[in-house]
Structure formats: C-alpha cells, structure tokens
Structure 1
Amino acid sequence: LDAVAADFPELQIIMAHPSVPWQDEANSIATHKANVFIDLSGWSPKYFPESLVRMANSVLQDKVLFGTDFPLITPQKWLGAFADLPLKDEVRPKILKHNAVRLLGLGG
C-alpha cells in the first residue's frame, strides 16, 4: 500500500483490521502517508498490538478510525474493551468519531 499511496496521493486509503505480524508496517505507512488511515474493525481492542495503541495515542491519533466487525463483535462489547485501553481522553473522540467525520467530509 505504501507505493499505491505514494503514486495516488489524492486517493484516501483505509487499512482495515489491526494485524499481526504487519502492524508495525501499517503504523509506518499511516505515519508517512497523509492519505492512509487505519480502521480498527475486525479485532477486539483487548487484542490490539501494543505498537498500535502507542501510536494511536500519539502520532496516529488523527489517522485511526472506529470499527467493530459487527455482528461478530457487537459495538457494546467493542466499546467496553476500548474503554480499557490506555488512551488519552482527548484521543478517544477522535478515534470514535472525529477522524471519520473529517476523512469522509461530513462536516461538523
């Protein structure tokens, strides 16, 4: 995805599902490419790699997007596990709403 993001900078790319063993590569691509975002669907937050949590809490706080993988993971269950992550209070609303609003051009 790194080469695609570089070749098509106007294309907004969302990498879905926190992933082992390539989460560090995803973190790096999202850090260095303005048009690349990370979606959190597909896994319960309790299984997120530590590197993703650390980066979401800092340099990627504007590039990470909420997702549950419903119906396998209900929003309630996902949000409960998300509440247990060591994230700054100001980062949580970005991940849960504000980043997607900005990316999708929904205003407000």
Structure 2
Amino acid sequence: MHIPDDVSQIPGSRPSYVSAAKNRQERLTLTLHERLDAVIDQESHPELPDPERKRLASLHKQIREDLASIRYGASESTVKDLETRYSTSGLQAGHNL
C-alpha cells in the first residue's frame, strides 16, 4: 500500500469544488421534485373535478420534462428561466405553472 507524502494527495482530504451553475441545478432539481410530489398527491384525490385533473396531469408532464432537460444538460439560461417559473412564491400559490 502506498501512502502519499503530502496530505493534499490523499483523496477526500478536502471538499470538492461545486460550481455555482451546478449548485443552482441541484437546488432547482430538488424544488421540482418537491413540486412533482405535491402534484402527485393532488392527483390522487378521488373527488377531483375533471378540468383540475387535466390541469394537474399537464403540470405533471411539464415538470417531468423540465427535470429531464436539467438532467441532460440544460443551458444556464434555461435553468434561470425554470427557476423563475418555479419560484417559491409561485409554488406555494400554484401560479406561474
């Protein structure tokens, strides 16, 4: 077993760098998963009127598409647009979606 002379050469001895863009994508992904969970919960109500059920199904599909775009390398401008669309105030009120 080889032990490096310099502690900086030991893997995991210092925190890895996470870019601001990657951090933004991770936060947005978490937000979208939370919103998707809320939509799925709302869709499960048996007494939901048809128009509302269709709206939620459309929203469910859109959130999944947005998650896929992030997963497959959305541009920084796309991520910013999605952040605006799914802002915290919009999520709570159910607007902007």
TM-score range, shorter chain: under 0.3
Q: Which has the larger radius of gyration?
A: 2
TM-score under structure 2 length normalisation: 0.23
Higher relative contact order (CA 8 A, sep 6+): 2
Q: Counting helix residues as a fraction of each chain, which structure ranks higher? A: 2
TM-score under structure 1 length normalisation: 0.21
Q: Counting strand residues as a fraction of each chain, which structure ranks higher? A: 1
